[in-house]
Structure 1
């Protein structure tokens, strides 16, 4: 039986491609049906070459094939599916090959959303997934190629931006050592600081800080010492700001091999988590919130909520 109020969102970022299938619960919220993530590293080398690597496209298209099968199995109408792509796809010169591959597999167009739209969708998804909180709220999405900062209050966006700092981008540009040298770490911190200072988002106004996406969720899992990654334990978890700074410093000084040995660490995130941790730590130095709240609800939820609100 077809569920006509079933929707799906695919978010293709620099490091991962993710799927959410959810039903409209009829009360302004969502009932999750399926949520999946594949690490495909679409942004492999894009910063240096300006082109998608053939291997990266192959990994991404294989994930698209898997997601197409899920959408068929769960009977999601094509008109209720939205595929968005972010930083890596904005930067690649051979993007048409990517568009064609997505279209042929999923039957929908890949939309390259702006950084500002990405920020707004992330905010809607993240805030919709947390309970009572003090305002203003800062939502931070550290991706592979970019980081979105959104400050909002009472459901209204006060300031938002997308910065060209992300875990893959910074790893490839600045953190070359394994483990990174102290000089590399300092240079990365200075680069992130300069980006944050020029962002136009008053981070010191934030009284609640919500982190979404892979860097933040991984930091939570590592902080909790989880034997395996468990979304139910990550969602809604908190990390005190001082503990987050200590954790980030510990991570950035470890080798990739040491990071892969952490039970809850995805093997394909181990080589970029250090850069993501630096970004999180520099933001922690600026917010007034006592802790980071980690949310599994993110841009995917925001995309589906936007789809639900569209006229039929």
Structure 2
């Protein structure tokens, strides 16, 4: 087995202890945005904001592959961003991809090129994680309010709907409708007819019916819009005196009537629409009007806070040990009735082994340790479904659940570790990873498997006195004198694991210390 020192794309970066600067990049389906900020007394002081219309979603073909042109635009933008964040430490920069990269079948290959260019890991986040981060950015940009608020963010490929109170979310949803995808579906010929607009409005309304009753039941005191499409609509309404600092149903109807009357996207400059937003403006308007109609919104205010600001505040939480991912893990343990004492013993043993293995295998221990911790705490999550093949059930639960704070890549890796923590290891499990990503995960799997075997007795004792000697294709476990002799069942477990690891390409031996 080859040992790689390359960090997998979905490995968790360690949070910086006290960075002078932090940065967040949102690789959206329509635009890429970057904000660089200074952290002053736990508050964010933005220093620079950059944005470019990349329109990544426009490069998705009928098979959902990103074409070369869209990849070139994206990489060129990231190259410019890279110059600004050059020299910033790993962990001080958070980069996420949204809907276009969620659906692109060649996203992994593109991300590898992008990471090499920009020098920091890129995470693809789920729609609900995107919604959580958007709300976090909005909530920190508004005055504190004890009432429920509804936040809507129309992106290039999806639209997020969130109900929250102060800094906590109550409802999160991401619907598959965006200003770029709807432009291509309904306004691709550059014309704006009553029929075209009606079709876009009806389709968006159909999507919204899925959340209408639930959202109306929870309710909200006021509504907030964020990001480019809603900002553009708010500016045009103000420019034409159809609304002052508020978006209302009457203003939207007046705007729609004028948009349809002009009849062509190229004519929308007469309303004050910026040239870089012309092509997507009617689609964003149709989606917003559908939201007002279906959810019975009376008025909306615009807020500058968005996904990139949410990323910054999420990063601050990690720096100060208020990591939402830890809350998610604890919630999963509670929900699925995981034996926490046993999980803690497995975690302690796995980390003790991993520290030794990572040093000898020359792997970035700090960046992978959190992943191993989480896998240890959740390795028995599948028992909530069935004892038979519970490692497979657990992997499925983790891979396809909405886990707040986690990227899709990290969830995938976490699920994979749970999948291979027992029984036979199949190399095919790692086929979807590039070699440089798969090898460190295979090493984590070895540490987790050994910890599970050594904790088979479930007595809660953390085994941190075991020594490990390892090279690229073998490892030796060295136990205290007389330890193995007094534990014949553990010896039998280790013999069985030895055979399984041999088939996996690792030769394992175990012995006691010499007297």
TM-score of the alignment, normalized to the shorter chain, above 0.5: yes
For 2:58, what is the secondary structure of its paired residue?
A: coil
Q: 1:56 deviation in Å?
A: 0.9
Native 8 Å contact 2:146 2:166 kept in 1: no
For residues 228-243 of structure 1, the aligned pairs below 5 Å read 237-243=245-251
Q: 1:190 deviation in Å?
A: 1.2
Partner of 2:268: 259
Greater relative contact order (Cα 8 A, min sep 6): structure 1 or 2?
A: 1
Q: What does the per-residue CA deviation read over 1:153-182, in whole Å, with 9 as the maximum and x for residues that have no partner? A: 243322111000001111112234432232
Distance 1:184 1:155 in 2: 39
Cα distance, 1:238–1:13 mapped onto 2, change above 3 Å: same
Partner of 1:7: 22
| Structure 1 unaligned regions, length at least 5 | 227-235
For residues 281-292 of structure 1, the aligned pairs below 5 Å read 281-287=289-295, 290-292=298-300
Query: What is the aligned residue count?
Result: 297
For 2:19, what is the secondary structure of its paired residue?
A: coil
Q: Do structure 1's residue 143 and structure 2's residue 155 form an aligned pair?
A: yes
Partner of 1:233: none
Partner of 2:330: none
Q: Do structure 1's residue 68 and structure 2's residue 82 form an aligned pair?
A: yes
For residues 88-99 of structure 1, the aligned pairs below 5 Å read 88-99=100-111
Q: 1:95 deviation in Å?
A: 1.2
Distance 1:61 1:168 in 2: 19
For 2:228, what is the secondary structure of its paired residue?
A: helix
Partner of 1:103: 115
Distance 2:284 2:138 in 1: 19
| Structure 2 unaligned regions, length at least 5 | 1-17, 321-515
Native 8 Å contact 1:138 1:203 kept in 2: no
Given candidates 183, 207, 212, the residue that maps to 1:195 is 207
Would you tell me which structure has more helix in proportion to its own residues? 2
Cα distance, 1:146–1:249 mapped onto 2, change above 3 Å: farther
Cα distance, 1:178–1:304 mapped onto 2, change above 3 Å: same
Would you tell me which structure has more strand in proportion to its own residues? 1
Distance 2:84 2:256 in 1: 36
Deviates more, 1:280-289 or 1:295-304: 280-289
Q: Do structure 1's residue 268 and structure 2's residue 280 form an aligned pair?
A: no
Q: Do structure 1's residue 224 and structure 2's residue 233 form an aligned pair?
A: no
For 2:199, what is the secondary structure of its paired residue?
A: helix
Native 8 Å contact 2:140 2:167 kept in 1: no
Q: 1:6 deviation in Å?
A: 1.7
Q: Pick the structure with greater CA Rg.
A: 2
Deviates more, 1:44-53 or 1:247-256: 247-256
Given candidates 140, 158, 165, the residue that maps to 1:153 is 165
The two structures have a TM-score, normalised by structure 2, of 0.54
